[in-house]
Amino acid sequence: MRILHLSKFYPPDPGGLEQVVACLAAGAAERGHQVRVVCATGSAWAQDPGKHRTETLESGVVVARLPTHGILWSQPIAPGYLRAARRQADVVYVHRPNPLADLAAALGPARPLVIHHHSDVQRQRAMRWVYGPVARWVARRAQAVVVATDSHLGHAEDIGSEARGSKVRIIPYGVDVARYRPGESPARPEFLPSPSSGAIGLFVGRLVSYKGLDVLLDAVTGTNLSLVIVGDGPLRATLERQIAERRLGDRVVLAGRMSDEAMPGLYQATDYFVLPSTTPAEMFGIVQLEAMACGRPVISTALSTGVRNVNVPEVTGLVVPPGDSVALRGAMETLAGNAGLRARLGEAGRSRVLAQFTVQQMIAAHLELCAELMPRSDS
């Protein structure tokens, strides 16, 4: 089977969507399918972003990285994308949000089409009057629309009403439970706060406004809580200044972006995970699954998105109202001060991931869908 994934970016560019595409592509290739990914060349790519580069990865996935001539409303300007996306395939995936992939699907040849709706457009909302009709037309044309949870459907304006019903398939995201597992960190990172400072909380994600990092800093200010913030983004300088002004440097570490290889050990070296997101721009939070797979309890916020489908209150972690720094502080102090509670919630979290959110389950469900959509030759 020939599977074509149309993605905005692809690892080493960071992001949950990019990791999902990589897992699906590698999983299908390792099972003998021909898989190609078309993407723009992102900022994390070490080579010249203005050069077309096609590479075959160790997994067998072929990745075509198209020259990028700037970013407009979070959308890469990659004119070669439309042509590259016309390649023959048995099934084509459009990973949203990605207006360029939708346009390629609209202008390309008729092929079995899957919309993998990770979220609606966010920063590109200024162009919705143009993009919205195209997105809904492509969704009507698609044979299937995949979302990770039923909660996604309440935040899926770009799908349109006509593309719902029997077209919709709910396939949860998954993580590699062999990589993300409980255990002692192989080497305690030197940048972590001192072990004498008590239990350590961990945040992982892009440093952007909807992640609620301002609320997180408010929560730890004036307490003895220790915290590590992993990630990079436009708010980094602001966070550095706030940490210095509040004299939090001995207990709050801004660690920057870390490699995927280092992440399991970091979850293992810390004690609980915090996802303080404040708006529906946070549609799921795969980092919750990574932490839970490592046996770490999660503190999340009561958003109406797929975030609520992951962390179960009082079972796998604690849930607080978005934007409420007082409630967040209370939840962090509860977990930091109770090792037995952390162990109980963490064990339940690992069990929940094994039951519902493994990468193998995700890959199998998508390949079953692809096989169902494959054109059948008359015999």
The amino acid that residue 87 corresponds to is R
Alpha helices per DSSP H over 49-160: 81-84, 99-107, 128-141
Instruction: Please state, in angstroms and rounded to a whole number, the distance separating the CA atoms of residues 91 and 303.
Output: 33
Q: Please give the residue that has the higher pLDDT: either 185 or 2.
A: 2
Choice among 74-78, 231-235, 263-267, 361-365 with the minimum mean pLDDT: 74-78
Go through the domains of the chain in sequence order and give each one's CATH number: 2-174+358-373 (3.40.50.2000), 195-356 (3.40.50.2000)
The SS3 of residue 58 is coil
Question: Residue 73: which pLDDT band, with cuts at 50, 70 and 90?
Answer: low
pLDDT of 264 strictly over 70: yes
pLDDT of 29 strictly over 60: yes
Q: Please give the residue that has the higher pLDDT: either 298 or 197.
A: 298
pLDDT of 12 strictly over 50: yes
As to burial, measured by CB atoms within 10 angstroms (0-12 exposed, 13-18 middle, 19+ buried), residue 229 is buried
Output the pLDDT for position 43.
60
Q: What pTM was estimated for this model as a whole?
A: 0.91
Locate 133 and state its tokens.
Answer: 């009709």
Question: Residue 123: which pLDDT band, with cuts at 50, 70 and 90?
Answer: low
Mean pLDDT of the region 101-125: 85
Output the pLDDT for position 46.
47
Question: Residue 187: which pLDDT band, with cuts at 50, 70 and 90?
Answer: confident
Q: Please give the residue that has the higher pLDDT: either 26 or 378.
A: 26
Please report, for residues 107, 123, 187, 263, 372, the alpha-carbon distance to residue 203 in angstroms, rounded to integers and kept in the order given: 41, 23, 19, 11, 39
Mean pLDDT of the region 247-268: 93
Output the pLDDT for position 379.
43
Output the pLDDT for position 75.
75
Q: DSSP character for 283? A: -
Instruction: Please state, in angstroms and rounded to a whole number, the distance separating the CA atoms of residues 112 and 350.
Output: 36
- Look-up of token digits 């078309």: 38
Mean pLDDT of the region 133-148: 90
pLDDT of 50 strictly over 70: no
Mean pLDDT of the region 306-311: 96
Q: How far apart are the first and last CA of the chain?
A: 18
Output the pLDDT for position 142.
93
Choice among 119-128, 275-284, 311-320 with the minimum mean pLDDT: 119-128
Output the pLDDT for position 72.
66
Percent of the chain with pLDDT over 90: 69
Cβ pair 316, 334 in contact under 8 A? no
Q: Please give the residue that has the higher pLDDT: either 214 or 130.
A: 214
**Average pLDDT along the chain:** 90
Question: Residue 41: which pLDDT band, with cuts at 50, 70 and 90?
Answer: confident
pLDDT of 155 strictly over 90: no
Instruction: Please state, in angstroms and rounded to a whole number, the distance separating the CA atoms of residues 67 and 81.
Output: 9
